[in-house]
Amino acid sequence: MSRYRSFVLFLVLAAVWGTAFVAISAGLEYFPPVLFAALRYDVAGVLMLGYAAYAVDDPIPRGRDQWATVAAGAVLMIAAYHAFLFVGQQHTTAAAAAVLVSLSPVLTTGFARALVPSDALSSVGVVGVLIGLVGVAIIARPDPSNLLATDVVAKLLVFLAAASFALGSVLTRRIDATLPIETMEAWSMVGGAVVMHVVSLALREPVDLEAFTQPEALGALAYLALVASALGFLLYFDLLERLGAVEINMVSYVAPIFAAVFGWLYLGEVVDVATAAGFVVIAVGFVLVKRRALREEFSHVRRLRSGG
């Protein structure tokens, strides 16, 4: 029963995070991108602080290392990731953005090779990372004669979002401040929201108060803050304990399916052949990078099924 519960929650999480890309595309019709991302984490940050206060004995970071972990999460995993993602997704589909973001687990292992020696990749793992980058190139389809085309730049910005998240996750691991993940996520959300508000002001993004009267705009913001962020991370924390880091990483490869389906149903977006092919190539890279962990996980599942 526990395995079925975990499977159902895994699919719910993939659906929630996959449809978040559709909500981003919908909300960007009303809000400027960086401000939209900041508003999302204004709400989500406050909710997660409340959850951290409930779930953790001491929800406030202590000492230089713990605050450094929060800073890495706030700047890279929240602010840079969402600023790049929201700006880039203005000119690409929800499905393409979801596929590019699914490269994050591969990039995480690549950054770990340089920053966390204990996580160094084998030669096969390096090949996996390179294959993942080929998948990005297939999706972006850069034209050498027009490398600054709007859609190419947009997809590269989404790629930078995935890279920012991956680098942030490795840096928080390298600092190793033994900070509860609930506390780290909550304070990173709040700090990231502050950083994005500063960036939004620096970019002089217009604030259209009429957007706050539009049901679709408010619905997209509420979905991202309450469902994709607050509920999504609660599901993530629960599944992380039940399944471990390897299996939960696989949610990045299921989410694009939901993004594609709901992008087609709600926004009329069509998934092209290049996006589908890029997804397959990125998935191959992930399997090569995580082959040992996946082999161990499959062995574990077989033992459970055989009653061993």
38 CB-side CA count, 13 A:
17
* pLDDT at residue 144, rounded to an integer: 59
With tokens 């972990």, the residue in question is 69
Instruction: Identify the CA nearest to 163 among candidates 81, 95, 275, 251.
Output: 81
Q: What is the pLDDT of residue 41?
A: 95
The pTM of the full predicted model, rounded to 2 decimals, is: 0.80
Question: What pLDDT shows up at residue 308?
Answer: 52
pLDDT of residue 79: 95
Residues of the chain with pLDDT under 50: 1, 147
The total of structural domains in the chain comes to 1
Q: Per residue in 11-48, pLDDT tens?
A: 899 899 989 999 999 999 999 999 999 999 999 999 99
What is the structure's pLDDT at 86? Answer: 94
For 287, the domain range is: 2-305
pLDDT of residue 117: 61
Question: What pLDDT was estimated at residue 300?
Answer: 65
pLDDT reported for residue 135: 76
Amino acid identity for residue 78 in this structure: I
